[in-house]
Structure 1
Amino acid sequence: MTAAPDHEWLFSRTRAGRARGPEAARALLDRLGAPDRQFDALRVVGTNGKGSTCAMLEAGLLACGPRVGRFTSPHLTRYEERVRVGGRDLDPARTADFIGWAKANAPDAAFFDLTLALACREFAREGVEVAVMEAGVGGVSDATQALSRIRAVALTNVEFDHVATLGPTLHDIARDKALAARPGVPLLTTATGEALTVVREVAAEVGAPLFTPETHPALFALPRPPRLGGAHQHTNAALALATLRLLGHESGVDAALNTTYPARLERFEVGGRVVLVDGAHNPHATRALAASVPRADVLLFGNLARKDTAATLAPLLAVAPVRVFTAPGETATPPEVLAHTHGGESHPDPAAALARALDLTPPGGTLLVAGSLYLAGGIRALLLAASGVPEPGGGP
């Protein structure tokens, strides 16, 4: 019988104050025999929309026939969601095997670097031809900068997030992300404003051919809206389609547009009430969410204290007159503080908070859940369990 993976050991592998960057990830990959040199990679960077863009790219590529891998973060319910081959989540037995190797050979490596190494090892073992690789935080400072065979870099957008890591100004953040660019490798972006100005400068410095909706409108054109809801998903879809077309995968456009992705305005029906679950967790994302859902009856909100909680919550306060605040983890912003400041109820346990929020939602009404991907994952699991629907382990 195969041992269950020791996820807790993995989760405990913090950077412990060590500097971020690709160097440690590169050393770890080399220790594994450089598996990243056995497949092409499409690298997706940006503040928001990376996960949805990766899902659309994966679906489009799968429709075109190559063996496809996908590396994303964070997971919603199970760790193995982070690493997919052929449209299926990783077998936990493969995680367990890798953890055994890591304990013996890389006990001090950081969690994200280890997960990236696991993904690359599995992609090489499974004969993946092209992998969609989502950056964690930033671009040039992210572990995914260590990857070897980059075919294209897709930059979704640049907004204020991870300021302590990437740097106090939008210019700093944009430059870090844009420096994911490589000489001669296509750089595609749907960034706008000041961020786009920085991206243009960096592309010229690096020698990366730049593709934008302004310079190549046909490349980014949408033949129809994507299945994923919200105006922001039109932009993500345009970037995914442009990347597919540029790399010769026009036949994957329809599949990309048909993609679904968990916790992105995901709709559930509970007792005659609509529950919308979204992972929006920073101000840019909640502004987009509020534009897509201008009115709900109840808001269930919780986020992590390291985020800009006030600015993240602000766009959603006008959406729902009734609010329930909860804690998506030990490092959450205290829900009692949010309830006192913004009006509403505090229920630290997400399950109790969901039950109360549903009670407060009138029949035929709408409950909106947002503030954290961790909250979205937890609430989503509760809703699936209540409906008797098993958590899927396969395609999006």
Structure 2
Amino acid sequence: MMTDEGDAAFFYDEWGRRRPGDGRDLRRAALLADTLGLPGIPDLPALTVVGSKGKGTAATYASAWLVAAGCRVVTVTSPGLRRDSDRIRLDGTAISERELAGLGRRLRDAARSLPPRGAGYLSPSGLFTLAGLLYARDAGADVVVLEAGMGGASDEVSLVPPTVVAIAQVFGEHLGVLGDTPAEIAADKAGVVSELTRAVVSLPQTPDVAAAIEATVAGRTGRPVELSGLPGSSEASEISALSGPSALSGPHRPNALLGCTAARRLLQVTGRPAADAARTAEVLASVRLPGRVSWHTIPGATLLVDSAVEGNGAAAALAEAYRRWDRIDHVLVCLPDHKDLEGVLAALGGLPVTTVRMPDRESLRFTRTRDGLDIADLTPGRLASFGERIVVLGTVYFTGRVLDLVGADTTRLFAG
């Protein structure tokens, strides 16, 4: 029998053996889902979150809202904050490493019946999605909240017919992969909807992206969809009133509102009772999002860590830093080639910046920052050497490493 570590490694097995030009194999992933009896779990509605940025925030707040309403909720996010077991949570709390290994063992055993792989592979994010569904079935969950890894129709979350879809902001990330324009990318992300989808909630989008979403949803569901005017809608105001004065404040308010609105819609369309205002305010006020404008202290320095990958996000993180500080000593930035490095650097203005590379992440390219600091050389002491007040920005893979360095608690995201 394999060790727990070996069982957990199965999530990366085929991805680690991929060849140039290989892509994720949705057909074999669907066969694996069928072998496991997934996703046809009776009476288990799914809330699926897609978009270019803010999906994790929306998924967390959606989960918190549903838990406040008395639901037993399994949440699957991508990637994990510090470790892979963070990807699957029950009522906001991450599963254990042993539980993850057990899920990996079951997936590995079921995968033995699949046809041989061709020019494709079972992707890690897709396998974690299936593992989350297995866990939801075992745990007797009432609802699953699924965060798409990259796309929508092209992502394994599309194997699960969503009851409600939440669409965060869509912009030109993954150009040439999901599409050649932001509108094409939006069509892929919105393509997660099915004829079983009962509601679609979206943040405001650019006109071309909004048109692509509307056309895709109408084509797949056979009915038009009205894109919500969050965060300025009357529904958003009502949700804010229920949540308490500070629960949905800060730079990530739009994505938090998106998650809460989508969760509220799911309760409505499935006929489930809503939580009372006091319980909702209590649970939402307890939400903590490490790596999303989160504050951390190490000997000699305080860090603001945020997974900003474009200029607007970086500007919002800086504004939050200046609410507490009168100066910023240094900014660490880690953005691979497909992220908006130029926009982030422009937002930082004349602040001292050090770029960081992650050469051990084979899927990420850092050709624009070849002279940057290697992630392996980053230690708590090296962090403190940059000054007393440090802002850390970059992809979630990077901020996850920093959270690990500072010993951030990522096990529990809210009080269930």
Q: TM-score, normalised by structure 2?
A: 0.80
Matches within 5 A, 1:166-185: 166-183=178-195, 185=198
Are the structure 2 counterparts of residues 192 and 73 from structure 1 closer, same or farther at C-alpha, using a change threshold of 3 Å? same
1:367 to partner: Cα distance: 0.2
Q: Does 1:217 align with 2:217?
A: no
* Structure 1 unpaired stretches of 5+: 341-345
The equivalent of 1:11 in structure 2 is 12
Structure 1 segments, 4+ long, off by >6 Å, are none
Percent identity between the two aligned chains: 22
CA distance in 1 between counterparts of 2:301 and 2:59 reads 31
The equivalent of 1:322 in structure 2 is 352
Q: What does the per-residue CA deviation read over 1:116-167, in whole Å, with 9 as the maximum and x for residues that have no partner?
A: 111111111110110111111111221101103x220000111111112211
* Structure 2 unpaired stretches of 5+: 269-273
CA distance in 1 between counterparts of 2:48 and 2:264 reads 16
Matches within 5 A, 1:178-217: 178-183=190-195, 185-194=198-207, 195-205=209-219, 206=221, 207=223, 209-213=225-229, 217=233
CA distance in 2 between counterparts of 1:257 and 1:40 reads 25
- State how many pairs are aligned: 378
The equivalent of 2:374 in structure 1 is 348
Are the structure 2 counterparts of residues 178 and 333 from structure 1 closer, same or farther at C-alpha, using a change threshold of 3 Å? closer
1:20 to partner: Cα distance: 4.3
1:18 to partner: Cα distance: 4.1
Are the structure 2 counterparts of residues 144 and 208 from structure 1 closer, same or farther at C-alpha, using a change threshold of 3 Å? farther
Matches within 5 A, 1:1-396: 3-6=3-6, 7-14=8-15, 16=19, 17-20=21-24, 22-38=26-42, 39-106=44-111, 109-148=122-161, 150-183=162-195, 185-194=198-207, 195-205=209-219, 206=221, 207=223, 209-213=225-229, 217-221=233-237, 222-223=240-241, 227=247, 230-231=250-251, 233-246=252-265, 247-248=267-268, 249=274, 251=276, 253-254=280-281, 255-256=283-284, 258-271=286-299, 273-283=301-311, 285-293=313-321, 296-305=328-337, 307-308=338-339, 310-311=341-342, 313-318=344-349, 321-331=351-361, 338=369, 346-352=372-378, 355-362=381-388, 366-384=389-407, 391-396=409-414
CA distance in 2 between counterparts of 1:197 and 1:358 reads 47
CA distance in 2 between counterparts of 1:266 and 1:124 reads 33
CA distance in 2 between counterparts of 1:47 and 1:213 reads 18
The 8 Å contact of residues 226 and 237 in structure 1, kept in 2 or not, is answered as no
CA distance in 2 between counterparts of 1:352 and 1:114 reads 30
Moved more, 128-137 or 25-34: 25-34
Are the structure 2 counterparts of residues 54 and 147 from structure 1 closer, same or farther at C-alpha, using a change threshold of 3 Å? same
The 8 Å contact of residues 289 and 413 in structure 2, kept in 1 or not, is answered as no
CA distance in 2 between counterparts of 1:269 and 1:215 reads 32
The 8 Å contact of residues 291 and 305 in structure 2, kept in 1 or not, is answered as yes
The 8 Å contact of residues 380 and 406 in structure 2, kept in 1 or not, is answered as no
CA distance in 2 between counterparts of 1:311 and 1:203 reads 33
The 8 Å contact of residues 328 and 372 in structure 1, kept in 2 or not, is answered as no
1:89 to partner: Cα distance: 1.4
The residue type equivalent to 1:317 in the other structure is L
Q: TM-score, normalised by structure 1?
A: 0.84
The residue type equivalent to 2:402 in the other structure is I
Moved more, 57-66 or 251-260: 251-260
The residue type equivalent to 2:124 in the other structure is F
The 8 Å contact of residues 333 and 392 in structure 2, kept in 1 or not, is answered as yes
CA distance in 1 between counterparts of 2:231 and 2:108 reads 49
Moved more, 137-146 or 293-302: 293-302
CA distance in 2 between counterparts of 1:270 and 1:98 reads 35
1:47 to partner: Cα distance: 0.6
The residue type equivalent to 1:218 in the other structure is S
The 8 Å contact of residues 350 and 378 in structure 1, kept in 2 or not, is answered as no
The 8 Å contact of residues 42 and 152 in structure 1, kept in 2 or not, is answered as yes
Q: What does the per-residue CA deviation read over 1:38-92, in whole Å, with 9 as the maximum and x for residues that have no partner?
A: 3111011111010011111111111111111000010121111111123321232
Moved more, 63-72 or 281-290: 281-290
1:339 to partner: Cα distance: 8.2
1:333 to partner: Cα distance: 5.4
Are the structure 2 counterparts of residues 208 and 147 from structure 1 closer, same or farther at C-alpha, using a change threshold of 3 Å? farther
The 8 Å contact of residues 225 and 257 in structure 1, kept in 2 or not, is answered as no
CA distance in 1 between counterparts of 2:74 and 2:145 reads 6
CA distance in 2 between counterparts of 1:242 and 1:116 reads 23
Are the structure 2 counterparts of residues 239 and 170 from structure 1 closer, same or farther at C-alpha, using a change threshold of 3 Å? same
The 8 Å contact of residues 61 and 256 in structure 2, kept in 1 or not, is answered as yes
The equivalent of 2:271 in structure 1 is none
